Every structure is written in C-alpha cells, then in structure tokens.
Amino acid sequence: MTTGEQVTHVPLGRAGLRVSRLCLGTVNIGGRVDGPAASALFDAALDRGIDFIDTADIYGWRVRQGHTEEVLGTWLARPGVRDRVVLATKVGSRFGTGPNDEGLSARHIVRACEASLRRLRTDHIDLYTMHQPDPATGWEEIWQAMDLLVTQGKVRYVGSSNFAGWQLAAAQEAARSRHTLGLVSEQCLYNPLVRHAELEIIPAAQHYGIGVLVWSPLHGGLLSGVLTKLADGSAVKSAQGRAAIALGEHREVVERFERLCAEHNRAPAEVGMAWTLAQPGVTSLVIGPRTPAHLEGALAAVHEPLDPDLEAAVAELLPPLGHGGPAPAAWIT
C-alpha cells in the first residue's frame, strides 16, 4: 500500500524515460544490509515512489562481487515488482583476475551484461552505466557493444559515470556518427563541498541532453550533521575512511554549515541534498540509506525545498571554483 507523499518524476536527459528525483543506491547492500532488511528497504523506497534503483556488478564485495545484484534480483523476482522499477547497473570495474575482466572492451561489456542479467534475474537492464572511462578502448568499439545489447533487447539506455566533460562530448559525437542515441545520463560527484562538476561536466551534459545523477550528495556523510553525530556516538560512515580524512580537511566549514542549518531549523542532511537537487542540470540524487528511516531526510529534501535565503547562504558558505559557473568564464579574469 502506498503511503505518504510521492517523489516526483522527471525525464532522464533527452530520453523519454522518466525517473524519480531520488535514486536508491545499493552500495550498502551486501555486508551492511542483507536479506529481509534489504527487501524492507527496497519496499519502503518503492512505496514512496522511489522506483529508480542503481547498483553495479562489483557491489557486495564485502561478501563477494556480484552479491548486491543477487540480493536485488531476489527482490525483483517477486510478482509485480520488476515492471515498476527503473533498473540501473554498471560495468567496467575489475570483476575477476583475467586480463579481460575489466574495462570497456566489447568482450567485457557483453559478458558482464549477461552475467548481471543472470544475477538480477531479469531479461533487461533499463540503464547500463559505464562505471568509469577506459582510455584503452575507443568509442567505436564501446558503441558497437552497447548497440548490440540494445538491439538484442538486453539494455534500454546507456549511461556513464565519473566521466570528464570532454569525454561526454567525445561519446556523443561518436554516437551521432553511428546515428544512435548515445548517453542519456552521467553519474558524477557533486555536492556543496565539491563543486567541480559545475565547470564542464554539467554544462556538457546540458548541451548534449544528458541527465545528471549525483552520487555522494552528502560527501560521505560530512553534510549529514557529522559533528553532532560524532559527539553523541551515532556516526557510522562519516567516522570512517575517506570521510574521516575529509572531515579533517573541511572541519571549519562543516562547523559553519551545521550552525547555518540550526539557525534555519533544518537538518543538515536535508539542506545538503535539497541544495544539490535544486542546482541546474541535476536530474536525481543517488542516495545510500541503510534503513527505511534513513529515507526520511532525503524525502524532506524533495518535498521541502530550501528558501532562497538559505540556498544562497549555502552557496556563499561553500563557494564554487574560480568565479563560479561553467568554464572557461569561471577562471577568466
């Protein structure tokens, strides 16, 4: 049964496909969230209209590579679920020990897709995303493989992740020469703390009609109220690894950010996500909740946009590179 206010849907770039403005990322599935808990999370997301789900063939590595797709596949196999979901997975990272078990060669793309389909227990992937660029493989070969999968009905749309602006342009021009659709999405790092995507990635995506999917909109938890969580002992992800190192670098600005949120009586996680979602060119945020309760802050970011004063204050507190805006004006004096 559907409960609560539903997440809105928007076109994915210039494609006719509509996706929810929140995308359920699954990097925490497998090793952190498994079995019934994972199903409960998927159910809660779908119940609130978050029907865009993103995974990758390598996710689940805490158990084994591919485990997350297997967990997701079990849930997708339930009656009536698969047709309600826009399913995305990724290819290109190392999966195996052989010399051809990584990258974007035609051989690896096709084999990896077929393996993902088996784990996901479905006959097609809605959005097949290249996890990162492969400088060793040309676009003629990449598009040959992707076009084959689309023709076979195994893939509906193709996306990229972690690409530079010039690589988006190269991909689209190569696809144009083949008279094919090319990329419909780019998944990139973007949030108030890390704004380099504004220089060339987002402008290139807008120019070519590519939807922008944002990963780490809270920068590993640094914009989720990390200082308060550290003080009360509730920090998990933001107290570990890269997030802990980044906190050391950005502690002063994070303190100011949390004070600003408190002054406006808004949770830091809501503010960080709402600000990012409101930026030009952004289609959807890829969020990584571990429980249904963790969805609430993300939902508030969609349903309760920031007032203009708070949005401007966040932008001023965490300024862009150079003069702001797209390149080259951002650095021309």
Catalytic residues: 59
CA 111, 169, 273 angle in degrees (round to 5)? Answer: 85
- DSSP 8-state class, residue 308: H
Which ranges in the chain belong to alpha helices (H)? 35-47, 67-76, 106-120, 139-151, 165-177, 201-208, 226-232, 241-263, 268-277, 295-303, 308-317
Cα separation, 50 vs 296, in Å, equals 12
DSSP string, 81-109: TGGG-EEEEEE-S--SSSTTSSSS-HHHH
Tell me the three state secondary structure of residue 299.
helix
Q: What b/e sequence results for 178-212 when a residue is b if at least 16 CB atoms lie within 10 Å of its CB, and e otherwise?
A: eeebbbbbbbbbbbbbbbebbbbbbbbbeebbbbb
Helix then strand count (H, E) for the chain reads 11, 10
Cα separation, 34 vs 322, in Å, equals 44
CA 85, 87, 90 angle in degrees (round to 5)? Answer: 170
